[in-house]
Every structure is written in structure tokens, then in C-alpha cells.
Amino acid sequence: MGLGENVRLVEAASIAELEGFLNQGADWDLVLLDLNMPGAYGFSGLVLLRGQYPHLPVVMISAQEDAAVVARSREFGASGFIPKSSSLETIQEAVRAVLEGDVWWPSNIQDEANVSEEAKAASAGLASLTPQQFRVLTMVCDGLLNKQIAYELSVSEATIKAHVTAIFRKLGVRTRTQAALLLQQMGSIPTS
């Protein structure tokens, strides 16, 4: 990528795989996170990473280049935003800037969107989830029953029920539908 010989790139195909890499204990310097990465709903992956790894810079990458996406990336704690249409030189510039402790935002996109207080509260709730609770929540959103989730994660159904109760408490919701809607709202861009 032209960033020097000491740079090692690791690719993850999903949020779960990314968490696996991050939990290996290596000293990671930066995460480039696709807005539509499998296992995440829009900005939920960013919120999860900010909550679990607050000192690790995360730069969002997306083909969606409108101001609302960039603004939400900033509001939810990203260190930058790289449009997928960017040239290699622009990508290198952005990565270098963030690796040096700065932030990087596209100069051609005006910051004209604000994130609602409701979205900020949802972000805080999602950031407080443990990685396992986040996995359970995404499976709930995919329509899986507690029994199915327990089987997939190789834990007891009682453990899943405890996770679901904790998730509801942290998110301030009472039903699986409300939890799923809250997570899905993290991926939507409100038009004002």
C-alpha cells in the first residue's frame, strides 16, 4: 500500500473475525472499517469498536459519500472517513495522517448533518455491550431464537437469556423487536 516496510495489513471478512484478530493481543495501530461489513448494521461496528477499544483509531470506508454518512462517522467516534472512490494517494494520505495521531476527513464533503440525541443514546448503549452481547444482539436481529443462538455460540439457553436481559437493560428496550429496530437504525441515514 506504499506505507513503508513496517506496515502489516490484516484483512477481516466480518466483525466477528475482526474481533478475533483484535483479541489476539497484538499491538494494533489502526482499523479501516467498511460501513457495510458483514456482522454489523451500519455504524454498529464502529460503535462496538469505540466501546471495546477506545484508544484504537478507526477509519470508516464507504461507497456512500454523502455528508450525513461522514457526519455520523465523526459523531460515533471515527478518526476519519475514506470514500471508496478515493485515489490510492488519497487513501495513503488519510492512513498516514491517522497513524500519526491526526484525523482525516474528505475536504469535498461538507459537514451539514447532525446526529440526533436518540442516535447518540443508542450509540452509548451499543458501546456498553460486551463482544458476546453484541453477537447475541446481531443474531436476535437476524431473527434467531434463543435456542438457535445458544446452539450457534455453544452456550446454554439460560446464558443467552441472561445476555438478552442485559442487552435490553443496556439499550433501554423491552422487546426483541425494539432491540432489532435500534440496531438497524444505526445503519440508516436520516434525511432532514
What is the separation of C-alpha 10 from the centre of its chain, rounded to a whole number of angstroms?
A: 17
pLDDT for position 1: 53
Which grid cell sits at 189? 441515514
Distances (CA, A) of 132 to 1, 88, 164: 33, 36, 11
Structure pTM?
A: 0.67
Q: Which pLDDT value is given to residue 75?
A: 83
Give phi and psi for 30, each to the nearest 5.
-165, 145
Domains of the chain and CATH, by start: 15-100 (3.40.50.2300), 117-187 (1.10.10.10)
CA-wise closest residue to 181 among 119, 130, 133: 119
Residues of the chain with pLDDT under 50: 189-192
Q: How many other C-beta atoms are found inside a 10 Å radius of the C-beta of residue 71?
A: 20
Judge contact between 160 and 153, C-beta under 8 A: yes
The CA-based dihedral angle spanning residues 126, 58, 80, 76, taken in that order and rounded to the nearest 10 degrees: 10
